[in-house]
Amino acid sequence: MGFKARAAGGARSIAVRPGLQLGMFEVGDSRELFAVVERNRPYLREWMPWLDISKTEEELRSFVQSSVDGYASGLCCRWALLVEEKIAGVISLEDVSVMHGRAKIGYWQAKKHQGRGFITDAVRSVLRYGFEERNLNLIEIRAAVENRKSRAVAERVGMKLDGVLRQREWLYDHYVDLASYTLLSKEWRESILQED
């Protein structure tokens, strides 16, 4: 079943805007995902620390399988960012804690799609899913302090900078500090009311 068929399939996909949707992964998606990663490897390497452990289609197949398993367990939700029904990146709701009502959003997209607002709109959709469907209280985005584009996404969707986590992530040959942004459910609901 392709992403087009899945798009109509309810909770496993999210319509973001015309031409942009989030589709839940299936095991057969690893080939297309691997091709996108390969085409964007030099670009992604600037901020994505996982590229050295994702060098083959088989390694990405493990990621896709863990995505399928994570959705079933409720511990994470990973979607393919679909532009005109083709994989253009990944967005996820990770480290879901039902007890504490919190989770983190992570994302990346192919270089050719930068500057079109896809990630910002996708993050808004995942926030809605997290707060409305999963009843979370807090959602976080972490981005390297120097990663201005990723930090700008968090700021555009109304997240607040909580602080900097020192040397929190290993990026190939050095540690980077991460800016931690959060949004509370009540803040998100207030922002929705202001838009109406």
CATH for 187 = 3.40.630.30
State the distance between the two ends of the chain, measured CA to CA, in whole angstroms: 37
Report if pTM > 0.85.
yes
Task: Give the CA distances from residue 159 to residues 13, 23, 187, in Å, rounded to whole numbers and listed in that order.
Answer: 24, 24, 9
pLDDT in tens, 37-90: 999 999 999 999 999 888 889 888 999 999 988 888 888 899 999 999 999 999
DSSP-based three-state secondary structure for 109:
strand
DSSP-based three-state secondary structure for 38:
helix
The two tokens of residue 32 are: 């297309």
Q: Which domain does 114 fall in, by range?
A: 3-195
| DSSP label of 54 | -
Count of the separate structural domains present in the chain: 1
| DSSP label of 9 | S
